[in-house]
Amino acid sequence: MSVLPDTKDLTDEQSATLEKAALLIINARREAGEMLRRAEIQRFDDDFFGSRCRKCGNCREFVGNDDVCRRSACRHNASQHAT
Ligand SMILES: [Zn+2]
Ligand SMILES: [Zn+2]
């Protein structure tokens, strides 16, 4: 598991870039997962390309395309899902 830099020290612009970068990763993973599903490759668990939330740990995948996960039990940033 990678360690997130201390986001408190980032400027607004830097944090926005971090979230954007995280969404790129999340979308790439979604695409990769979709590719496996289309090829009907089973046995890979959803977590294989997962973007489990680093903060709460029980959200397996980032929901939505905004800065914050839409899952009501989570609501953590994209960057926290880009593990
Ligand atoms: Zn979370
Ligand atoms: Zn989440």
What's the pLDDT at 73? 95
What's the pLDDT at 66? 87
Going from the Cα of 72 to the center of ligand 1, the distance in angstroms, rounded, reads 9
DSSP code at position 67: S
What's the pLDDT at 4? 61
Tokens of 46: 């959803």
Q: Give mean pLDDT, residues 57-80.
A: 92
Going from the Cα of 83 to the center of ligand 2, the distance in angstroms, rounded, reads 12
The distance in angstroms from the start CA to the end CA of the chain is 6
What's the pLDDT at 62? 92
Each residue's pLDDT tens digit, 1-47? 455 667 778 999 999 999 999 999 999 988 888 888 899 887 766 66
Going from the Cα of 23 to the center of ligand 1, the distance in angstroms, rounded, reads 15
Going from the Cα of 28 to the center of ligand 2, the distance in angstroms, rounded, reads 16
Q: Where are the domains of the chain?
A: 12-80
Question: How far, CA to CA in Å, does 61 sit from each of 13, 26, 35, 51, 76?
Answer: 25, 8, 17, 5, 11
pLDDT bucket at 72, cuts 50 / 70 / 90: very high
Going from the Cα of 43 to the center of ligand 2, the distance in angstroms, rounded, reads 23
What's the pLDDT at 74? 95
